[in-house]
Amino acid sequence: MTISLSSSGVNSSHRCPIAIKLLLVLVILVPIELSFNVGPLFITLSKLSLIVTTFMVLPRALVMRWQAYDWLFLMHVVWSCIAFSLIYDPARSIEQSGTYILEFLIVYLMARVYLVNISQIKATILFLFAMAFISGMVAIPEAFLKERFIHDFAKSLTGISYFFSNETRMGILRAASFFEHPILYGAFCASLLSLIWFISSPLQLLWKIPVIGFATFLSASSAPLMMLIMQIWLLLIERVSRPLKNRLQIIGFMVLALALFMNFASNRGIVGLIATITLKPSTAYARRNIWNFAIDDVMANPIFGFDPSQWTRPYWLGASVDNYWLLISMRSGIPSLIFIFASILLIWVALSRRSNGEVLYENLKTGWGLTMLALLIGGATVAYFGKLQPLFSFYMGLGAALANCAMSSTTSSVKPDRSRVAYNYSRFDHGRSPSPERQTKFVVTVESKINRGTDFVSKDIKQPTYRRSLSKVPK
């Protein structure tokens, strides 16, 4: 007999929280043209919702148990805001800081405080997959008919225009779907591969993996395709290395040795080599020069960085910085980059040390680790701006939530109200609860009588507040 201690909230604890769903819908499925201006401020619907959500998230965040990686993440945001105040004029620094707090810190805290058990985390990943599926469906006519229907329709409603380069590759238009750039859309779709792989059945994988692969292909971008292929290799390595003891340490040592070899064997360095993995040689050449010129400016301004639009470059090289980690160093200094890397590392360590043998939890840990590794390497070839900046922060918050969530899929991290579950056992002294062993023996006795047909408590025992019926049991 299953006993329910609460008459409400049981089913909802297994679903993706409504606040998380609303956030993901507004961030992913609302094109940038559906925005408005308030004086000098450009307000998107996702920013507006995050302003409201802040008043619900902060009270929860203040009472949660902060871990070292939470503090490092907060230090990254604080350091970035200090850098903005030193680099820009007061008006722009307030705008930049406010946007970064909303899209980075608040999004992280939302995932951190709202996802409290592994069932909610799994449901959230499935909801992300639904968002990728919808985005992919929109990208199909966009890629093959070579028309940006969604953005054109949104522009007709608000009059706000956003520039897109209508470049074609492999015979299709580089689809952007709801995103600001094809590479952002592709990176979002590719990032879900490992997470979906570890929470889906073999039958579900037969259609989910092709959906992710085809949706990523429609972006016709090298960085998302590289992230996808890299995850396939990582999944293969994970499968083959299962019999090995201490495989994480072994694989980590091999990856570190390979990275050091690539760094010293090439004059481009490991980051420079990754940045040159592209579909077009001209793109590889541009990214290599971006790294070579911009890194000199970073080393000249290592503490708080400088205005990224003012980096030293030849006249023929555009101002775009196709490297997220380089961009962070440029706009807020090397310490800011160290804080965020250290936060990710400590989340990894916390996950590796926490285990209860439950298959779903172990799979979620592995899936998140491979996804984050793909995002880290992908960040060396693309800047996570627009919709992908809050999504990257959300992935970090999801990992932190996974490191702190209830281990069982049926357990909530919310403490029960003891006054509602303090049963009145008439067979024991009033005001005192029996030991757990005697409680178990007593419940088994009641169950056996019910199974024999005794109905003296059958009417009441089915109710959520059955504790009153136990006092009617004859001695």
Smallest Cα–Cα separation from 46: which of 19, 20, 25, 16? 25
- d(C-alpha 395, C-alpha 20), whole Å: 12
Is 76 domain-assigned? Answer: yes
Three-state SS across 29-56? Answer: CCCCCCEEEECCEEEEHHHHHHHHHHHH
- The helix (run of H) or strand (run of E) holding residue 168 is strand 168-169
SS3 label, residue 172: strand
Both 174 and 313 in a single domain?
yes
Burial 131-163 (b: 16+ CB within 10 A, else e): bbbbbbebbeebbeeeebebbeebbeeeeeebe
Both 323 and 460 in a single domain?
no
Pull the structure tokens for residue 126. 């499935």
Smallest Cα–Cα separation from 6: which of 407, 409, 438, 418? 418
Segment 349-359 shows an average pLDDT of 84
How many structural domains compose the chain? Answer: 2
Does residue 231 or residue 253 have the better pLDDT? 231
Task: Determine contact, residues 307/259, Cβ cutoff 8 Å.
Answer: no
Is 1 domain-assigned? Answer: no
Both 292 and 361 in a single domain?
yes
The pLDDT score that the predictor gives to residue 266 is: 61
Is 412 domain-assigned? Answer: no
Task: Determine contact, residues 54/106, Cβ cutoff 8 Å.
Answer: yes
Both 74 and 222 in a single domain?
yes
pLDDT digits (tens, 9 = 90+) for 287-307: 888 888 899 999 999 999 999
Both 311 and 274 in a single domain?
yes
Reported as a pLDDT band with limits 50, 70 and 90, residue 416 is very low
Last residue of a domain, one of 353, 376, 404: 404
- Model confidence at 423: pLDDT above 60: no
Q: Are strands 41-44 and 35-38 parallel, antiparallel or unpaired?
A: antiparallel
Both 433 and 308 in a single domain?
no
Is 2 domain-assigned? Answer: no
- d(C-alpha 18, C-alpha 113), whole Å: 13
Reported as a pLDDT band with limits 50, 70 and 90, residue 466 is very low
Is 410 domain-assigned? Answer: no
- Model confidence at 436: pLDDT above 70: no
pLDDT digits (tens, 9 = 90+) for 313-328: 888 888 888 899 999 9
Name the H helices within 379-435: 388-404, 418-421
Segment 265-294 shows an average pLDDT of 69
Task: Determine contact, residues 360/122, Cβ cutoff 8 Å.
Answer: yes
- Of 71-80, 371-380, 417-426, 446-455, least confident by mean pLDDT is 417-426
Reported as a pLDDT band with limits 50, 70 and 90, residue 250 is confident
User: Cβ of 395: how many Cβ atoms within 10 Å?
Assistant: 21
Is 209 domain-assigned? Answer: yes
Is 5 domain-assigned? Answer: no
Q: Which residue has the tokens 């820009």?
A: 88
Both 233 and 294 in a single domain?
yes
Both 318 and 449 in a single domain?
no
Both 436 and 307 in a single domain?
no
Q: Which residue has the tokens 């968002």?
A: 131
Is 254 domain-assigned? Answer: yes
Full domain range(s) for residue 440: 422-470
Both 193 and 268 in a single domain?
yes
Both 302 and 432 in a single domain?
no
Last residue of a domain, one of 404, 434, 451: 404
Last residue of a domain, one of 348, 376, 404: 404
The pLDDT score that the predictor gives to residue 268 is: 58
Segment 134-151 shows an average pLDDT of 94
The pLDDT score that the predictor gives to residue 259 is: 67
Both 244 and 391 in a single domain?
yes
Segment 18-33 shows an average pLDDT of 94
Which phi and psi angles does 371 have, rounded to 5°?
Answer: -65, -45
Spell out the residues 6+ positions from residue 176 whose beta carbon is closer than 8 angstroms to its own: 139, 142, 148, 151, 164, 182, 184, 185, 219
